[in-house]
């Protein structure tokens, strides 16, 4: 084993990338960057029943869009590959044979129906529902009889039946489990594929992983893994288990209560920078009160020692607020590029880049996420529709006089700049005697479809002269 710090993110290709998995990937990435180590991506695809086509491609694209570049893994390779567990079965088989030969594991011929029946009997009686280890006691003759009958079997790890195991976790410090709480873990399924537990331990050792940084839900699996490390004569890596992400009601964050997929948040117009900044603070904090970080700043500030023990609430209101701050403070051209796809998807044809960025600039001060930008922009691209009360305002005598006055003056104007429009507003007051609520609301309604909105010079600049005249003519009787 080398002294290099090596961490890994090891997702299963079962669909989308959960925001909790994003946090796990981010913490691994940041720790590797902080200490000058390596960040490895490994695909744990041994459970073929849960494999989803396209999931690996989606995972790689999502990590790329978030700026989390791995050092070794699929598409990049490395000296510790292959990085798909489904391509490493011969490696696992070698160590399974070693465990069987040394009496550290055994074949279990119990059928799923038998196990379910026994588990239910024990549950009704209030007894321990863990596997009772009956096949652990089979002699060589009984095992050969089962094999001769081609009976299906799984391979289980022999867990100590008394005493306890204690280990150190970077977040939780000293942790102890009694062995009587730990099941004889299945290492190889009846289809011949290894379980997560076997493949995980073997790969972490062979890939020389120094620190296992993963979710709290795997904490109870550590005793099984330590038992397997000992059975194979290997030194385990350091452990670091991250606190749960919680809904507002303190239940575990799940899709039942809303979006949890990173791609869903990105599609709704949350910026990658926002998601990284928001997610990193769900369980970690730096000294001081800084709240906004670039990825480069996080690479310098991050520390495993400052990870919290307690779960963190995924506060959607806080995420919306933070995204609004990023929208307003990020370079306008960057936001313009992020926003462009929403205009294209809505069928809004961008003909003037200057006016497009002007529109995005106005919108970003009024929205929290970019999928709201097209609703704000709709009046500039779509035919205006009016409620009956709006039609009454537009059809009033003073409004009709106002609209005709503006059309007559705009027709001969070379450009609708701010100076010209403000001058025309002043003339509307002085020459027509129209002011206050009889001036601005009708003009905004005619041009923008609402009494409230951007400043008139901005609206008219974005619409341009031809469209301004058309909209005034549309409301003239």
Give the C-alpha separation, 89 to 192, whole Å: 9
Active site annotation includes 391:
no
Q: What does the block give as tokens for 250?
A: 């303190």
Phi-psi group of 147: left, alpha or beta (phi > 0 → left; psi -120 to 50 → alpha; rest → beta):
alpha
Neighbours of 405 (CB within 10 A): 17
Please, what is the Cα angle at 218 between 215 and 220, to 5 degrees? 140
Q: Which of 57, 76, 87, 255 is catalytic?
A: 255
Q: What are phi and psi of 448, to 5 degrees?
A: -120, -15
Give SS3 for 406. Answer: helix
Q: What torsion, rounded to 10 degrees, do the Cα atoms 332, 337, 341, 344 define?
A: 80
Q: Are 62 and 263 in contact (CB under 8 A)?
A: yes
Give the C-alpha separation, 111 to 116, whole Å: 9
Half-sphere exposure of 254 (CA within 13 A, CB side): 5
Which residues neighbour 456 within 8 Å (Cβ) at sequence distance 6 or greater? 421, 425, 440, 443, 444, 447
Give the C-alpha separation, 186 to 110, whole Å: 12
Give the C-alpha separation, 239 to 173, whole Å: 10
DSSP state, residue 195: P
Residues marked active site are found at: 255
């Amino acid at each position: 084993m080398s002294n290099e710090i090596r961490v890994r993110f090891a997702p299963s290709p079962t669909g989308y990338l959960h925001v909790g998995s994003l946090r796990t990937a981010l913490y691994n990435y940041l720790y590797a960057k902080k200490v000058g180590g390596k960040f490895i991506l490994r695909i744990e695809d041994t459970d073929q029943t849960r494999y989803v086509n396209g999931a690996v491609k989606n995972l790689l694209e999502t990590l790329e869009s978030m700026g989390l570049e791995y050092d070794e893994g699929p598409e990049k390779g490395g000296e510790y590959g292959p990085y798909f567990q489904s391509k490493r079965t011969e490696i696992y088989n070698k160590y399974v044979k070693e465990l069987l030969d040394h009496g550290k594991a055994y074949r279990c011929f119990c059928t799923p129906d038998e196990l379910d029946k026994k588990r239910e009997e024990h549950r009704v009686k209030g007894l321990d529902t863990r596997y009772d280890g009956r096949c652990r006691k089979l002699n060589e003759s009984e095992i050969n009889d089962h094999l001769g009958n081609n009976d299906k079997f799984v391979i289980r790890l022999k867990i100590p039946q008394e005493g306890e195991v204690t280990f150190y976790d970077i977040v939780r410090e000293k942790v102890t489990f009694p062995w009587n709480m730990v099941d004889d873990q299945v290492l190889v399924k009846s289809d011949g594929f290894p379980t997560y537990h076997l493949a995980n331990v073997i790969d972490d050792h062979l890939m020389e992983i120094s620190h296992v940084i993963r979710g709290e839900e795997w904490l109870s699996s550590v005793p099984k893994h330590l038992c397997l490390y000992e059975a194979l004569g290997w030194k385990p890596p350091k452990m670091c288990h991250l606190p749960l992400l919680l809904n507002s009601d303190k239940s575990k964050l799940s899709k039942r209560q809303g979006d949890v997929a990173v791609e869903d948040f990105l599609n709704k117009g949350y910026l990658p920078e926002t998601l990284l900044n928001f997610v990193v603070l769900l369980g970690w904090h730096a000294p001081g009160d800084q709240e906004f970080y670039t990825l480069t700043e996080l690479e310098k500030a991050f520390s495993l020692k400052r990870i919290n023990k307690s779960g963190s609430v995924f506060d959607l209101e806080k995420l919306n607020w933070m995204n609004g701050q990023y929208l307003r403070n990020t370079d306008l051209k960057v936001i313009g590029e992020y926003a462009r796809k929403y205009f294209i998807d809505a069928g809004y044809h961008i003909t003037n880049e200057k006016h497009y960025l002007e529109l995005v600039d106005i919108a970003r001060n009024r929205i929290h996420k970019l999928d709201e930008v097209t609703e704000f922009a709709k009046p500039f691209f779509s035919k205006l529709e009016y409620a009956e009360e709006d039609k009454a305002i537009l059809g009033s005598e003073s409004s009709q006089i106002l609209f005709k006055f503006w059309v007559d003056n705009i027709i001969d104007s070379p450009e609708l700049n701010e100076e010209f429009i403000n001058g025309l507003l002043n003339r509307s007051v002085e020459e027509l005697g129209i002011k206050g609520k009889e001036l601005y609301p009708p003009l905004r309604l005619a041009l923008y479809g609402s009494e409230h909105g951007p400043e008139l010079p901005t609206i008219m600049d974005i619409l341009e002269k031809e469209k301004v005249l058309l909209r005034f003519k549309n409301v003239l009787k």
